[in-house]
Amino acid sequence: MARGYLIAFLLSFGPAVSNSFARFAYALLLPAMRADLHWNYAQSGAINTFNAAGYLAGALLTRWLVGRAGNRTLFCAGMVLTSVSLLATGLVRDLDALVVTRIGAGIGGAAVFICGGALSGNVFPNRPQLATTTIAIYFAGGGIGLMLSGVAVPLMLDAGGDAAWPLVWRAMGWASLAMTLAAIWSALAIEEPGAAPGSARWRIAPLFALLASYSMFALGYIGYMTFAIAWIREHGGSTATVIAVWFVLGLATLLAPLVWRHPTERWLGGRPLAAVTAVLTAGAALPLVSAGPAVMLMSATLFGLAMFSAPSSVSSFIKHALPKPAWGSAMATFTAVFAAGQIVGPTATGWLADRFGSLMPGLAASAALLALGALLALLQRDLHAERLPGRN
């Protein structure tokens, strides 16, 4: 039992690298890169859009390859590609070269996130009732990366100035390579879900409401995660405030499984995702009230409690609704839709900021999209073939 939980924990280095370092840490680096490279907000958002485009390409490739290569192989390859891409981001300054490295990180990150999500539900193949817990551990691992980057990145930038951003990317690249070794060991210790008997075919129509809600989540949350730190800095926030907000964001992510375990296991249909997205809506709306430290800390707490719980609730739904061989394909489909939303989000938020001279319109749009996502999730009916006792 203890070995299984250790495997789930080390596997969670996947989202720490693919999400916290490769995607979210950019928000911490954005003010420095924007100042050093003389970007406007649209250019700043476009960099994350290219990362999301790579993520979409990676999701589509994973959906095509997972039945042939398997989740374990793609997870391991994705970890290596993401880590190398992070390291390479710190070795170039040209915008076109940065676009290439961000696309590479997106492609690898999608494979990690999708295949790791499928593997995490099969840590205890003979005890399926524990799958919800191991899935939650996997996605909560992103909090490790958030906390590490939340402390290290602002301090490194404070010490070296805006021009130190390449050093920060290189540091995250080396840390990611170390995490990759541990995550690969854990992935190889898990039985391939696709090896289980059953059909890998599944229908998208019964899951359409959940898919629509997830797309709104993607559109809404990425605007916040790209520009939240820029919003704080724009309002005179200190390095201490930035560190505290990002650290609390990561800490809340780690605590999220305790908050959402009962809803994810017991609530039917799209109710878990609806609740998660409603909490995200509140977190995204708070900065519109104030950019002060107290309000931003509350915002980070709410966002951290729900951010990784959205994909976790989707993974749990898929795990209960579909046969094991279909998990990888279904997760890849949801991630492709998710990635498409992420492509639009950062650029649209940046465009609105440049047009209106403030990040507020884009952040307000993010909160509105999340609220719509919560309503759409309520339309998802229950598809669990094997209901657990006490589900309601």
**Could you tell me the residue range of the domain that residue 367 belongs to?**
2-193+204-377
Q: How many whole angstroms separate alpha carbon 253 and alpha carbon 276? A: 12
* pLDDT for 392: 47
* pLDDT for 194: 61
Q: What is the CATH number of the domain that holds 256?
A: 1.20.1250.20
Q: How many whole angstroms separate alpha carbon 224 and alpha carbon 284? A: 7
Q: Which residue positions in the chain have pLDDT lower than 50?
A: 197, 385-392
Q: How many whole angstroms separate alpha carbon 15 and alpha carbon 136? A: 12
Q: Is 390 a member of any domain?
A: no
* pLDDT for 343: 79
Q: Is 232 a member of any domain?
A: yes
* pLDDT for 384: 61
Q: Is 389 a member of any domain?
A: no
* pLDDT for 391: 45
* pLDDT for 262: 78
Q: Is 213 a member of any domain?
A: yes
* pLDDT for 372: 96
* pLDDT for 248: 94
* pLDDT for 386: 42
Q: Is 199 a member of any domain?
A: no
Q: Is 202 exposed, middle or buried (0-12, 13-18, 19+ CB in 10 A)?
A: middle
* pLDDT for 126: 78
Number of domains in the chain: 1
Q: Is 250 a member of any domain?
A: yes
Q: Is 387 a member of any domain?
A: no
Q: How far apart are the first and last CA of the chain?
A: 29
What's the DSSP call for residue 202? -
Over its C-alpha atoms, the chain yields an Rg (Å, rounded) of 19
Q: Is 383 exposed, middle or buried (0-12, 13-18, 19+ CB in 10 A)?
A: middle
Query: What pLDDT digit, counting tens, does each position of 276-309 carry?
Result: 999 999 999 999 999 899 999 999 999 999 987 8
Q: Is 134 a member of any domain?
A: yes
